[in-house]
Amino acid sequence: MSADLADHLLTVLRDATGNPEPAVADKETVVQTEVASLGFATPTVRTAGGPDDGLGRAYMVMDRAAGAPLLAGLDGTKAFAQLPRLATTIPETLAVTMAGLHRLDPEPLRHQLGEHSPVPTSVHGMVEHLRTASQTLGRADLTGAARWLADNPPPAEPDVICHGDLHPFNLLVDTDGAVTVLDWSAALLGPRAYDVASTALTLAEPPLTLPRPVRPVARAAGRMLARRFVRRYQHHSRITVDPASLRWHQGVVCLRALVEVAGRGPDELDRRAGHPWVLSGINFASRVSALTGVTARPR
């Protein structure tokens, strides 16, 4: 086999260890396959399977993408030296990428997902899922917050394809500046405000383990990045995102994280102590409480 052919055939195996539900892996495969077919920069899926197909869990085989994560290689003094550049690069790259995704026609994907998916594929479906899951977990606080969200939705907006988790570590950037988007497990069809809210929230509430005196500075910097991202997204999409809709959708994202953490046992939470949703739990609960009027606990 020639070197050129070997490079062309080189693929990546992504298992669904982080997604115990095969239905979530199936949705991710459908979304990534459709988005790639529409010409968006994401690895082409070559094959996929479920837990009964040989590996004991869901998997996907896709083309290898060139590049490194947007924040790769940053540590110590390097990070501080590059902060001025990153303060511009991160919001701009995320905004350009998201605006491009939202220009895709969502109807082919809607057809592929169908109307009876066992996992949420819309924001309305997500809120209902969170209400049911909270009730099953015996979390009256989260159930009440989900009920408030369901009863107080923002005005309806057209659906777009939402990545649902577009942050710097889900973007690969090559030496020419070309961006490839990874990890479509949280994708759904919904208002663009949902996607903007998710990314802005990740920037505004950086999931970092920092000394207590430094945390206010990190949050202030994160909120600055979030505001800049929203402005740049609105510039590139030429659409204004309603601030009230943004807050409501951030409430959905926060509640999703809180419900996910609530469903984990103490031992698993100890093993996942560094997970972003665990690190940001207090701030997420505070946002949900302020929005809904229901006092939410982080765990």
What pLDDT digit, counting tens, does each position of 69-85 carry?
877 655 544 554 565 66
Residues of the chain with CATH 3.90.1200.10: 66-292
pLDDT tens column, 163-173: 999 999 899 99
For 213-230, give one letter per residue: b (16+ CB within 10 A) or e. Answer: eeeeeebebbeebbebbb
Among 218, 208, 202, CA closest to 166 = 202
Per-residue pLDDT band at 140 (split at 50, 70, 90)? very high
Q: Are 45 and 62 in contact (CB under 8 A)?
A: yes
Residue 174 pLDDT greater than 50, yes or no: yes
- Which residues does 153 contact at the CB level (< 8 Å), separation at least 6? 124, 248
Q: Measuring CA to CA, how many Å separate 221 from each of 44, 83, 246?
A: 36, 10, 19
What spatial distance separates the first Cα and last Cα of the chain, rounded to whole Å?
A: 54
Answer for the pair 145, 292: CB distance below 8 angstroms, yes or no: yes
The CA distance from 178 to 197, in Å, is 24
Q: What is the per-residue pLDDT for 257?
A: 95
98/161 Cα distance (integer angstroms)? 10
Pull the structure tokens for residue 50. 């479920």
* Cα–Cα distance, 182 to 68 (Å, whole number): 11
Bridge partner list, 161: 189
Q: How many CB atoms are closer than 10 A to CB 146?
A: 30
Percent of the chain as helix, strand, coil, to the nearest 5: 55, 10, 30
pLDDT of 2-55, one tens digit each? 444 344 444 566 654 455 578 999 999 999 999 999 999 999 999 988 888 877
Tell me if 27 sits within 8 A of 113, measured CB to CB: yes
The CATH number that domain 66-292 falls under is 3.90.1200.10
Q: pLDDT above 90 covers what percent of the chain? A: 64
